[in-house]
Structure 1
């Protein structure tokens, strides 16, 4: 089957393994767009305004029915005083919206140029940014609606509505807008710091690691392959497979399925997608049962992609080591998080993982990067670019030494290979013995 390991036949419910839920294309689309939250907020604020308008009319009718015309007159005076504030808020809110939009564009541009275009998704998916933008637009919409509710009639006996509740609601929305603006600026400034960005990426990558099965595929025989299912759909990056559905289909037909491409691979129509294994090769497997079991998109996501977090961290580190940026400290921060991820994967089964059904029988085998692939992704490119930066070479050596003390003996070889290659590269690139010795001294802070 594979050199790696996965969930074996002995795994049952209650062992801590939670099968990853299927990726919702609609949910992903809404998270990757800016139109939904502002549109929903404006629709919601229109409903709230209609309710507040009806409440104002009910209050006026109640006071008029009880002949409390003085109270109605007091409401009119209070609301007229608030009208100038609402006018000011209405014009100022558009300025705020322009500021928020401008800050967002600048932040995205700086992040894409300084880090990597892959981190733009963090800004696009930022909930505080969408919430701030939505509340600002909702507040602006509310002020326009409230201004239309002011009655030109000043006689308390003839007035039909006094927008008192609407005015209070507007002031509350203004207060919420100011609070969110402060939170938005704070959040955006944090997202522009390299340390916070790499921490966010690492956190999402660790969640993927924690969802992986932790069993063993040694000795597991899926049976001979008797069918293959090709991919049908638009070309794109394989982002997700519906594991629960594939397991149910395989259990129902008494077969074992194996996902041939890895999550993150680019697939085109006709690409072999699944192989079908079982003891009875004469049976005809219904391919229609596997429709809508995979999700393909324009770019990779964290949902089930084990290597995407490492890919982003390496991209940021490589950009930091480029001649245009020349920021080895950021590269060291990326290496810190890369080592954190490798430590989390040090004793986990890799290469292939198995997903069991309710009885613990493996029904789906999914290929994932093995340990050598993960180590190569983590160090190969950064190692080649780090030769002229002793801060980075020292950090890589310290990290490799730490991993060599942690990983099982069977996983030491890729680490030793990268350590030897780094030493050879530095030896050939740095002729001075003292400089070479300094660059090859392990240091967890690079150059503290």
Structure 2
């Protein structure tokens, strides 16, 4: 391996080193159990602290013989007891009804857009926060009810759950506020513009995390070993970049990830190739075994093409005969052009991740520019021939990209433009109609 050639190539301006726990954080975001469980544990801790505060308050008042104040606290708690009891009995029913309706809304959205839109609901912070606060409020009401003392003599009581009651009422107020925010968020999930914007935002975040420098494949050195995949079959969801970089740095080698994010891998699939000088040690399997994660579906975490895949899926469904919604397809094309514009000058095909000294230690294969252009336009171009609104938007998008991309990236765009012209010429016999369908228009037809 030549350090001089590889050094600094992958670092570039704006490179942000992946966080060590980023794969774990992403997996927790893809689950629905962690936030509610953590909230119930936290509320138990808060209740224990509030119980100690209530006991300390009663002891302080008894030491000062402020029995009138203790009686006033007992009266306030008894007044709040009715509210706490009502909330405790109604909260679980409320949770069941709200989330049942929400699941129906999500099912409708997945049927209208794409089944992959469900992940937006699962990853939604407001959804998890609302569910967590609802369950925490219910748990807190049960704990507070167990703290209520039947003793009314201020000289004999050991605790008055005053702080606990105030905390419960605050949790109820927070639940009502989050319920309003949650309903608003769920209704937005059913609007195509919001869904497309969320997908685009996540896709652009993946683009921003990519290294900005190019990778010289000749600087990797000879391949001295290979590592196969061992584990259950599934989709390659993400890789632990920081751990792979550390393993390669210890052995002074370069690792190349062979499958791309989103590829389906089975046991025995070539996973990594090791490049370096002859005689260099290969990283041990114990150092590499937890560096990749395989699951049942793709995620946004590191998958560069997943955002375009979802936008294309929504556009294709909108162009189907069953839906026939070309305006939605135009909205998808707006965002597709936005994502491709962000990638216009980025290194593609292979990107490098450097160590702390700037030497590239991990080379990751990503989709090439031609692959992304095909993903963005190939299927929608075939389905859009009968819809002039969509063909006009495709022509405008291709023309805009041709003006923005460097000359070496224009051939795929020109090819799709020519194929669209040929397809429209075969499908539309009238010359005037063909000219209308192929006139670039960023809004399609207004």
Q: TM-score range by the shorter chain?
A: over 0.9
Q: Which residue of 1 aligns with 2:196?
A: 198
The CA deviation string for residues 24-72 of structure 1, in whole angstroms up to 9 with x for no partner, is 5543443222222222222222222222223223323332332322222
Given candidates 59, 73, 82, the residue that maps to 2:71 is 73
Kept in 2, the 8 Å contact 1:100–1:133? The answer is no
Q: Are the structure 2 counterparts of residues 153 and 356 from structure 1 closer, same or farther at C-alpha, using a change threshold of 3 Å?
A: closer
Distance 2:151 2:359 in 1: 77
TM-score for both structures, normalised by structure 1: 0.92
State the 1:10 CA deviation. 4.2
Tell me, yes or no, if structure 1 residue 345 matches structure 2 residue 343: yes
Which ranges in structure 1 are unaligned for 5 or more consecutive residues? Answer: 1-6
Higher mean alpha-carbon deviation, 157-166 vs 393-402, is at 157-166
Distance 1:83 1:319 in 2: 53
Distance 2:316 2:85 in 1: 51
SS at match of 2:237: strand
The CA deviation string for residues 270-318 of structure 1, in whole angstroms up to 9 with x for no partner, is 11111222342x5553442433222222211112211111111111111
Tell me, yes or no, if structure 1 residue 285 matches structure 2 residue 300: no
Tell me, yes or no, if structure 1 residue 117 matches structure 2 residue 115: yes
Kept in 2, the 8 Å contact 1:400–1:415? The answer is yes
Q: Are the structure 2 counterparts of residues 290 and 437 from structure 1 closer, same or farther at C-alpha, using a change threshold of 3 Å?
A: same
Tell me, yes or no, if structure 1 residue 251 matches structure 2 residue 259: no
Higher mean alpha-carbon deviation, 218-227 vs 253-262, is at 218-227
Distance 2:163 2:267 in 1: 58
- The alignment of Structure 1 onto Structure 2 pairs a total of residues equal to 441
RMSD between aligned alpha carbons? Answer: 2.2
Kept in 1, the 8 Å contact 2:10–2:360? The answer is no
Higher mean alpha-carbon deviation, 296-305 vs 429-438, is at 429-438
Kept in 1, the 8 Å contact 2:10–2:353? The answer is no
State the 1:411 CA deviation. 1.2
Tell me, yes or no, if structure 1 residue 144 matches structure 2 residue 142: yes
Q: Which residue of 1 aligns with 2:372?
A: 374
State the 1:107 CA deviation. 2.6
Distance 2:217 2:29 in 1: 42
Distance 1:20 1:29 in 2: 15
Tell me, yes or no, if structure 1 residue 89 matches structure 2 residue 94: no
Given candidates 402, 424, 427, the residue that maps to 1:429 is 427
Distance 2:440 2:399 in 1: 8
Distance 2:372 2:63 in 1: 77
Given candidates 140, 154, 158, the residue that maps to 1:160 is 158
SS at match of 1:264: coil
Q: Are the structure 2 counterparts of residues 81 and 387 from structure 1 closer, same or farther at C-alpha, using a change threshold of 3 Å?
A: same
The CA deviation string for residues 313-347 of structure 1, in whole angstroms up to 9 with x for no partner, is 11111111112222111111111110001111111
Q: Which residue of 2 aligns with 1:4?
A: none
Distance 1:60 1:357 in 2: 59
Higher mean alpha-carbon deviation, 120-129 vs 14-23, is at 14-23
Kept in 1, the 8 Å contact 2:10–2:215? The answer is no
Higher mean alpha-carbon deviation, 374-383 vs 135-144, is at 135-144
Distance 2:146 2:355 in 1: 61
Distance 1:418 1:127 in 2: 39
Q: Which residue of 2 aligns with 1:416?
A: 414
The CA deviation string for residues 422-444 of structure 1, in whole angstroms up to 9 with x for no partner, is 11111211223332222111100
State the 1:204 CA deviation. 1.3
Higher mean alpha-carbon deviation, 107-116 vs 122-131, is at 107-116
Distance 1:400 1:14 in 2: 29
Kept in 2, the 8 Å contact 1:250–1:257? The answer is yes
Distance 1:442 1:421 in 2: 15
